Amino acid sequence: MTNLVPIGRALISVSDKSGLLELARGLAAQGVELISTGGTAGMLRNAGLAVRDVSDVTGFPEMMDGRVKTLHPNVHGGLLALRDDDEHLLAMAAHGIEPIDLLIVNLYPFEETVAKGADHETCIENIDIGGPAMIRAASKNHRFVTVLTDPADYQALIDQMRANDGATTLAFRQKLALTAYARTAAYDTAVSAWLSGALNQPFTRSKSFAGTLAQGLRYGENPHQAAAFYTDGTGRAGVATAKQWQGKELSYNNINDTDAAFELVAEFAGAGPACAIIKHANPCGVGKAASLKEAYLRAYACDQTSAFGGIVALNQPLDAETAEEIVKIFTEVVIAPGASDEAKAIFAAKKNLRLLTTQSLPDPAEKSLAFKQVAGGFLVQDRDVDSISAADLRVVTKRAPTEAELADLMFAWKVAKHVKSNAIVYVKDGATVGVGAGQMSRIDSTRIAARKAGDMAEALGLTQSPTIGSVVASDAFFPFADGLMAAAEAGATAIIQPGGSMRDDEVIAAADAAGLAMVFTDQRHFRH
């Protein structure tokens, strides 16, 4: 297979013109003939470079508002022709097709246009046609053609040519072809995703998801697993869009847990200061209070053992007072919608503590799709964004919850949505006091949460478990009364759960017998 291929002619058609002048000058200095389209050609000429218009190559003017300019055999023949195939060479000679050795194309800014909230017609006009067609052609013929789709690769091309007397290596061309095909795949995915949203048809016959590499990671969940982090271009507030002020690079687990923490605390936007502490994607404490410091301390008090080495998420900008409390224990990451200079200075003394800030909180009600890989395919579903208000609850017991119980029940329900199933959450006075997550039976989650609360009571020197006088949330129905009774035995006075079990009557009767208040949400929040 051909290795070194000299570059004699380049076709340039770019939307993003960053770095282009420097590249074009470097190519011209090595004797490369430049062909370009529209505004790009004008920019290069204004810089004193000799440029042929693509219309000179095709024999046709650019037409239909630029929709048709490169879709021509003289362009695609020049890109696709095999330089070692006599029939291809004869066809080129017979039809006046000149070889194109280098293609420099980046696409209309479709993703950016959608992100800005442009109207339907504007989005349509920003769907590139000629660009992807040329990229695919050049990439297919990478034995002979070099294709550039990203300004980040411009300098590497110049370095290649300088090192190889104006030529590129096969390995280099293969790498760029892979980059190019990945780019067109992501671009088509963005168009498909936008159109499926516009037509309200999320589950299309074919489905793909795309992203842009944000960073390579040292490893995945475990050291023997390779990993990387990609952004999806949506701009959702969170770890992907946050600014990191200090600390070492985020790991796979850091990113996963930070996302879980920030999405949870966003449930309490506008509800006063709130804090969530996360470990292994599960909350080990959530609290709200009159101040951010107090909210953190209340979250921390739920499970101080698990909080060590955890992720802290805040729903308000980090202040100095709260920062001073957080640095008292080892914490991996803190994320908040902003931070004061004083807080940043306090964190600066902890070099391994990562501080991330965002411009805002994510919107818990924003609709999108989530996917999960399984053997041979993947599952796709709506993100769990539905929520309920107190007015949606059904009181099913003889006793209705008090006003204080109701407030805690709603708090517990928001938290339970973010706990791995089977999920049980004890809450008292606006803070979690026990969390049971990820157990195979609901009664085990109930007992574990209560036991952890008892352990903390002992550690903190409390006279009784904080579950006494608490409320309980369950992410799904109690299939038997035993889980509910275990919560009652732990001191719970009120229960919130979806309902829907064949034994609801039995569970309701048990609640009544124990003097509990119980409400049904008619909404489940499984989280696997």
CATH of the domain at 403: 3.40.140.20
Output DSSP code: residue 69. Answer: S
> What's the length of the chain?
528
Q: What is the C-alpha to C-alpha distance for residues 277 and 258, in angstroms, rounded to an integer? A: 9
Q: Is residue 375 part of a domain?
A: no
Q: Would 435 be classed as within a structural domain?
A: yes
pLDDT of residue 115: 87
Are both 289 and 424 inside the same structural domain?
A: no
For residues 408 and 461, membership in a common domain is answered with yes
Q: How far apart are CA 108 and CA 190, in angstroms?
A: 12
Residue at which a domain ends, from 310, 342, 357: 357
pLDDT band at 10 (very low <50, low <70, confident <90, very high): very high
For the packed helices 73-80 and 130-140, what is the interaxial angle rounded to 10 degrees? 30
Q: Is residue 425 part of a domain?
A: yes
* pLDDT at residue 128 is higher than 80: yes
Active site residue 140: yes
- Both 331 and 401 in one domain: the answer is no
Contact between 420 and 438 (Cβ < 8 Å): yes
pLDDT-derived band at 503 (thresholds 50, 70, 90) equals very high
Query: Which runs of consecutive H residues, i.e. helices, occur in 81-169?
Result: 86-95, 110-115, 120-125, 130-140, 154-163
Domain match, 427 and 477 both? yes
SS3 call for 144: coil
pLDDT(69) > 90:
no
3-state DSSP call for residue 306?
A: helix
64 pLDDT more than 80:
no
The model's confidence at residue 234, banded by pLDDT at 50, 70 and 90, is: confident
- 29 with 166, same domain? yes
194 and 126 in a common domain: yes
- Quick one: pLDDT at residue 185? 95
Q: Report the pLDDT averaged over residues 139-156.
A: 96
The mean pLDDT of the chain is: 94
What would the pLDDT profile of 332-374 be if each residue is shown by its tens digit? 999 999 999 999 999 999 989 999 999 999 999 999 999 999 9
Instruction: Tell whether 104 and 183 lie within a shared domain.
Output: yes
Q: Would the pLDDT of 23 be above 90?
A: yes
Among 198, 223, 256, the domain-final residue is 198
Is the pLDDT assigned to residue 190 strictly greater than 80? yes
Do residues 71 and 156 both lie within one domain? yes
Chosen domain end from 143, 167, 198: 198
Residues 171 and 87 in one domain: yes
CA distance 307 to 331: 8
Catalytic residue among 140, 175, 207, 350: 140
Whether the predicted pLDDT of 65 surpasses 90: no
Distance between CA atoms of residues 95 and 7, nearest Å: 22
For 367, half-sphere exposure in the C-beta direction (CA atoms, 13 angstrom radius) is: 8
Task: Look at residue 224 and tell me whether its pLDDT is greater than 80.
Answer: yes
User: Count of domains in the chain?
Assistant: 3
At 1 the pLDDT is 59
- Look at residue 165 and tell me if it is in a domain: yes
Domain of 106 in residue numbering reads as 5-198
The confidence score (pLDDT) of residue 222 equals 95
* Residues β-bridged to residue 471: 427, 494
Catalytic residue among 175, 207, 280, 344: 280
Residues 430 and 514 in one domain: yes
In the residue annotation, 280 being an active-site residue is answered as: yes
